[in-house]
Chain A
Amino acid sequence: MPNDRETAELISRSLSGMLSPDKERALQQSISDSRRSAQYRDWSRLIQDSLSDVARRIADGEDGLAPGLPEDARQRLKDSVRQELLKQSGQSIPDAADRLDAGVPDVPPPGSPESAELRQMTSRFSILRQLGAGPLGVVWLARDEKLKRTVALKELSSEAAEFPRAWQRFCREAEITGYLEHPNVVPLYQFGTDSESGQPFYAMRFVGKRTLAEAIQDYHERRHAGEDTTMDLHKLLTAFLGVCQAVAYAHSRGVIHRDLKPENVALDSFGQVIVLDWGLARLTEEFETGHLLSGDISAADSRFEQTIAGEVIGTPLYMAPEQAVGDQDRIDERTDVYGLGAVLFTMLTGQAPHADRSRDDREQSVSVEDLLQRIASQPSPDPLAARPDLPVGLAMICQRALKFHQHSRYQSAAELADAVERWMAGRTQRRQLYGSMQSEGRELRTNLMNFLRSLERNTRFMASLPPIQGIIDCLVHGDDRDDLSTWRSRLAVIYRGLLRTNTDFAAVTYCQVDGDQYRQVVRLERQRRDASSVRAVPASRLESGPLSSCHRQIMDGHPDDVLTSLLTRCASESRETDTGLVVSAVPVFDEKSEDPFGFVMIEASLTHVVDAFLRHRLQHAGQAFILNNNCEVLIRVGRDGSCCSDLQGQAMGCLCSQWPQVLPVLRERGEYVDDRTHTVYATRVDLIPGRTSLAIVLLADDGSAAASASETQ
């Protein structure tokens, strides 16, 4: 008989099925003699049966027999799965890159030594501060301790990390960014996973925080304040060309961005343009079928899609119609052309192309669905409607890029860039010509001013000569009449010398004023038909007559007060005068009685001055005009050398269309610069500040109109 220990062993063997039938029978006999052995057998059998039963139930999925996954463990497991999926995604890159001879960030296969090294890379970066955050990722400013440089580090946001598809999308973004090697695509330095969180990240060149959106906003704020310059738009357009080039390159690599907007373009401190955010990019069918990159970004997790929808609420404002209807099959390079057109629209107008559609009649925001419906059903936005003063050529380019139908748009980003570049080149040439024309106008103004100052100085001098008082003494104080003849002769000699020296001067006159009448005492004038001949007007031909308002104005002045005006204003009504003459006059006082006696007046030929200046210099302007206060053309000079001074009223029929814009600016600022069409330049010369002025107007060759006067009174 076995003892209890041996019986227990047999029981154990029996329960394990390791006992022969004979021994089973012997065992039963032993157990019947031992209560404790029976208890052991019963408990062991019960335990075994229970465990087998529980094991089956658990295998069948019954959930009350063991605790479920603790929440923290669940999170860790999710992280592990994501990380593994990431590795699996990364594993395909080198092969694909090799096949297509593409530059792809060094993402080693999982398990390789490089992979282990990669995990340690996070210790290479020291986080400095957060630069920005979006639904997909958080961007940090970080320090690369290894290479001692500042980098931007983007990691998957914790919110997006909830969705495995977000991981794929994030990785896809890194892959595509790394795949695109172009000066206008941010260079990727490192792509890996954080050793602590297990979340993917990538390090890229830090390009600053300024985006094209901010630059556009700055430009339009300056524009509204009237502080913009032509260079501002030129800089923006140069940046736009950079965006076009990056997109054109991406297209050549089979990548369509699909989310082009000013916020996705960074501008670094040195004017470099960087296209960011390739997270929504997709491959064209040709490249997709080649399995260029891993994963599938089109089949997004539905929950994450909502997050994406939250992210791209602003994006519909730039969205092409085919995107708005969600027609993925129709999305191609021309969809990005539309996106580029949308960026250009924003540059030119200061608002997104669909901004107007995002509000209803009561200025309330419409839902995204309604906005998409409007984009898909309404004609394309018109930049000229948003900003009528836009250069028409540029507006047309923008309009074509935004055409509703894809076949009507530019067929590639390169074609669009080419159109903008051509417009800029033409504009640059025109701007250079205009700049020269501006210089000519300003130089002419300076010449006119100098001429007028010289005229005024000479007028004062001519009124201070001894014969002036000598003549007064004879006429007023009864000196010898013979002396009068002498004084007149002496004055005539001096005046003759003046006219011979100053060929622009047409005449110089010494007048006596008596009551309401004036009477010329001495007058020397240049002959009209022979400018080199100066003659003294004989006493019998000296004029007299009623005072004009101009004469009265002269006589109202104090000694040495010079009045400069147009001769038409100072001549007697009966006299036919040359419209191109300007006069400068100063009152003469009797030194003895200190009463006003008369005035000295010099008439000068503006035509002569203008002609002399412009005849050989009018290279860039097609025509030059000098206008008076009444919008009357006093002088017109053509490039052909023609110079007319008697066009009063004749040029008024070709008033330039810009004149309504020119006049107020000219009145207020004294100068009009045509930044938009580069057709008209105008500046003002004050004869009597606030009362009488001349306007110098230059028209470019293809200027469709003449100019008018500056009504500055």
Chain B
Amino acid sequence: MSDPQPAPGLNPDNWVDEYGDYLFRYAVSRLRDDNAAEEVVQETFLAGIRFQHRYTGDGTERAWLLGILKRKLIDHIRRRARYDRDGVSDGSHDPSEKLFDQKGNWKNGAFMSATPDGQVASREIWEVVKDCLKRLPQGQADVFVLSVMEEMTSEEICQELQITPSNLWVRLHRARLALAQCVGARWFHDQKVASHAE
């Protein structure tokens, strides 16, 4: 019989109000999809309730829930990758063709602008990157996020997503290329608009 009483230090009744926003922000920053984020947060809470007896009380309630959320994020990414595997392998999603000519040299207009001079707020870059990530194939964006934002190693990503290291490398490289092109172009465009506005 499972223990119906909340574990010491856990208060599931308050989870949504206390940690709903936090976990949702975390999830949506990784998944780029509100619905998907809500789903994994829900799964997190439900798993937390079911396995609250496993909470030892060593860490904070938020950290414990975040640990569950991270697992749920990977589960979700793996699940949706299963249905998007074809899309990832689609050659049309390789940005190299747009950036390099047949000799392998950068095409004209590959990058519209140089990186901003001096310190630029991460928040500003993030706003642009968010949009560009959404334009990427899920399979590329996901591995990039897991690598950069979740700081997972290549081995971990390959193991979790059941992909080969070469596949991971291809995805990551394509993601970097596409993001650089997209963010560069968007930044150039935004700067141009901003200067016109001034």
Contacts and interface: CB of A to CB of B under 8 A. Distances in A.
Given A8-B177, A50-B125, A80 B45 contact: yes
A40 B98 CA distance: 14
Interface residues on A, range: 35 or more
B184 A39 contact: yes
Interface string A165-208: 10000000000000000000000000000000000000000000
Contact of A91 (B1, B25, B41, B169): B1
Contact of B122 (A36, A50, A88): A50
Interface stretch (A60-68, A266-274, A586-594): A60-68
Contact of B4 (A3, A12, A70, A91): A91
A81 B29 CA distance: 23
A46 interface: yes
B173 interface: yes
A159 B110 CA distance: 58
Contacts of B179: 43-44, 47
Contacts of B45: 77, 80-81, 84
Contacts of A36: 106, 110-111
B24 A4 contact: no
B1 A16 contact: no
Interface in A1-32: 3-6, 8-9, 11-13, 15-16, 18
A12 B105 contact: no
B4 A51 contact: no
B132 to A, nearest CB: 8
Contacts of B183: 43, 46-47
B91 to A, nearest CB: 15
A12 B114 contact: no
Nearest to B14: A164
Interface string B125-158: 1100100000000000000010111110010000
Interface string B175-196: 0110110011000000000000
B166 to A, nearest CB: 12
B7 to A, nearest CB: 12
A42 B99 CA distance: 16
Interface in A55-105: 55, 57-59, 61, 63-70, 73-74, 76-78, 80-81, 84-85, 88-89, 91-92, 95-96
A74 B21 CA distance: 9
A3 B103 CA distance: 8
B105 A4 contact: yes
Interface stretch (A245-253, A293-301, A315-323, A695-703): A293-301
Interface in B28-70: 28-29, 34, 38, 41-42, 45-46, 49-50, 62, 66
Contacts of A13: 169, 173
Contacts of B99: 8
Chain B contact residues, majority secondary structure = helix
A37 to B, nearest CB: 7
Contact of B126 (A11, A61, A65, A301): A65
A112 to B, nearest CB: 13
Contacts of B50: 84, 88, 110
A40 B113 CA distance: 10
A648 B22 CA distance: 101
A296 B28 CA distance: 35
B8 interface: no
Contacts of B100: 4-5, 8
A369 interface: no
A74 B1 CA distance: 30
B160 to A, nearest CB: 17
Interface string A254-265: 000000000000
Given A4-B100, A52-B151, A91-B2, A58 B25 contact: yes
B89 interface: no
B105 A3 contact: yes
B198 interface: no
Interface string B104-126: 11100011011110001011011
B163 interface: no
B149 A68 contact: no
B123 A55 contact: no
A54 interface: yes
Interface string B12-29: 110110001110111011
Contacts of A74: 16, 20
A76 B38 contact: yes
Contacts of B150: 55
Contacts of B46: 80-81, 84
B115 A6 contact: no
Interface of B: 1-2, 4-5, 12-13, 15-16, 20-22, 24-26, 28-29, 34, 38, 41-42, 45-46, 49-50, 62, 66, 96, 99-100, 103-106, 110-111, 113-116, 120, 122-123, 125-126, 129, 145, 147-151, 154, 169, 172-173, 176-177, 179-180, 183-184
Given A16-B172, A67-B34, 11 more contacts: A8-B100, A13-B169, A43-B179, A46-B125, A53-B122, A54-B149, A58-B29, A70-B38, A77-B42, A88-B50, A164-B13
- Considering the complex of A and B, which 5 residue pairs feature the smallest CB-CB distances, nearest first? A3-B104, A164-B13, A50-B125, A5-B104, A55-B149
20 contacts: A5-B104, A8-B100, A12-B176, A16-B147, A39-B184, A40-B110, A40-B111, A46-B115, A47-B180, A55-B29, A57-B122, A63-B25, A65-B123, A66-B24, A66-B25, A67-B28, A69-B24, A69-B41, A73-B24, A81-B13
